[in-house]
Amino acid sequence: MLVRVKSWSTPQIPVVAGRGKRPTVFCSSHRGPADTPRKLKEARLYVCGITPYDATHLGHAATYVAFDVLQRVWRDAGVDVTYVQNITDIDDPLLERADARGVDWRELADSQIDLFRSDMEALRVIPPESYIGAVEAIPRVVEAVQRLLDSGAAYTLDNGDVYYRVGTRIDPPFGSASHLERHEMLELFAERGGDPETPGKEDPLDPLLWRTERPGEPSWDGGRLGPGRPGWHIECAVIAHDHAGFPLTVQGGGSDLVFPHHEMCAAHATALTGKQFAKAYMHVGMVGYEGEKMSKSKGNLVLVSRLLQQGEDPMAIRAVLLSHHYRSDWMYTEGLLVEARTRLAAWRRAAQSVTDPDAAEELLQDIRGNLVDDLDTPTILDDLDDWAESVGAGGTREATQLVVDAVDALLGIDLR
Ligand code: 5CA
Ligand code: ZN
């Protein structure tokens, strides 16, 4: 089969002297520190990828840069990382947008995936080893849906659409990823792509697994399911299973995916394999603009590609993103970019100067220490400001190089 989707090229990552510790990250499911093994050697990281229309806005970029930092910190601690990301290259919102623009959905998806890849490259995000489109995963999704039907975890409506039974007995049980009350689940389900009102469903929360062919919509061979196309959550469950394996060390994405997406992925995964889906869930706060969550549906977007076109330095964009803790919600303003440019210029000037070796060593420990503590990048950027003010009084170029390498390897900010 032709593999249509390629990831992007890997940035150079300098080796930094010594070794960092494994990070303690906040797990949204435990609502506290994730209980990853202290001696973790291999990590499986799955981060929910884009639905390719109107990408890449700064909210997407914040999410992928946050997990990029996680990956860098793991690598610095000697952890071997398997990183998988999907592309939701077939789904209702993509088809609706293509229709509205009067373009072919495949062309829309391809052009947006291209933009996303070049944006990620510019931001120096380490690419996933497996970058998998929903479309290429369809044969595996069909097998999985068929198995869920055969085991009684799914049912077919009169029109042929297949739904997952959220009441299926699984361990860990449905609800244990998000810990939400049923009324909260119902509200979020309706808001975020679910269809509580569809007649014939056993439970309003049951999510779609396979949508049978409709006139004018693309469809694929579904074997005994009949022609159709996959639901959203089963896509990520299957891709994560096939390319990373369960349990994932971390399942990641923006906080808009806590429910229903990650809860349903977990349910599908456990119903299919008997295994826990993920040991920990990490969710990045929502980036907003002009008073609202930045989202494709609202259209209040600041696109990375547009900033780059206007000549913006990608490292300044990265500095804006890292100046907020990954878990906090924040509003983007142009002022943040102006501030980031000034800081970056100061760090670059400092990178041309000499640093006291003890101060450099201390800063390296400080960077590592703050990263280990749930990726506290804002504190590190403040400490870099202090470093930039203190250089030049004496010291060596080698000491400066140590700082430059650490900032590059651990934060992905290139000061050259
Ligand atoms: N394709 C699905 C995931 S399988 C999806 O949510 N696509 S997306 O294009 O809408 O979003 C891509 C990623 O960016 C997701 O992890 C999402 O949670 C995150 N994201 C979307 N909007 C924002 C935002 N405003 N701030 C931070 N992260 C965001
Ligand atoms: Zn996903």
Can you give the length of the chain in residues?
A: 416
Which ligand 1 atom is the nearest neighbour of the CA of 86?
A: 4
pLDDT at residue 55, rounded to an integer: 87
Q: What is the pLDDT of residues 281-323, one digit of tens each?
A: 999 999 999 888 887 777 789 999 999 999 999 999 999 999 9
As beta bridge partners, residue 164 has 154
With a pLDDT cut of 70, the percent of the chain lying above it is: 99
Q: Count CB neighbours of 71 within 10 A.
A: 22
Instruction: Flag whether pLDDT at 5 surpasses 80.
Output: no
Average pLDDT estimate for 16-33: 95
pLDDT at residue 4, rounded to an integer: 53
Q: What is the pLDDT of residues 289-299, one digit of tens each?
A: 988 888 777 77
Cα separation of 271 and 166, whole Å?
10
C-alpha neighbours within 13 Å on the C-beta side of residue 383: 20
Beta carbons within 8 Å of 211's beta carbon, 6+ residues apart: 161, 228, 229, 230, 231
42-47/250-254 β-pairing: parallel
pLDDT at residue 292, rounded to an integer: 85
* Shortest-distance Cα residue to atom 22 of ligand 1: 59
Average pLDDT estimate for 32-59: 95
User: What string of H, E and C letters represents the secondary structure of 284-329?
Assistant: ECCEEECCEECCCCCCCCCEHHHHHHCCCCHHHHHHHHHCCCCCCC
Average pLDDT estimate for 396-405: 98
Average pLDDT estimate for 358-387: 98
* Shortest-distance Cα residue to atom 23 of ligand 1: 59
Burial of 294 (0-12, 13-18, 19+ CB in 10 A): buried
Q: What is the pLDDT of residues 65-101, one digit of tens each?
A: 999 999 999 999 999 999 999 999 999 999 999 999 9
The pLDDT mean for the chain works out to: 96
pTM: 0.97
Pick from 48, 84, 250 the residue to mutate for probing ligand 1's pocket: most ligand atoms within 8 Å of its CB: 48
80-87/42-47 β-pairing: parallel
Cα separation of 163 and 156, whole Å?
6
CB crowding 307-325: b at 16 or more within 10 Å, else e = bbeeebbbbbbbbbbbbbb
284 C-beta closer than 6 A to ligand 1:
yes
Rounded to 5 degrees, φ, ψ at 107 are -65, -40
CA of 50 to the centre of ligand 2 (A): 8
* Shortest-distance Cα residue to atom 18 of ligand 1: 254
CA of 111 to the centre of ligand 1 (A): 18
Average pLDDT estimate for 117-142: 98
Closest to 377 (Cα-Cα) out of 284, 241, 305: 284
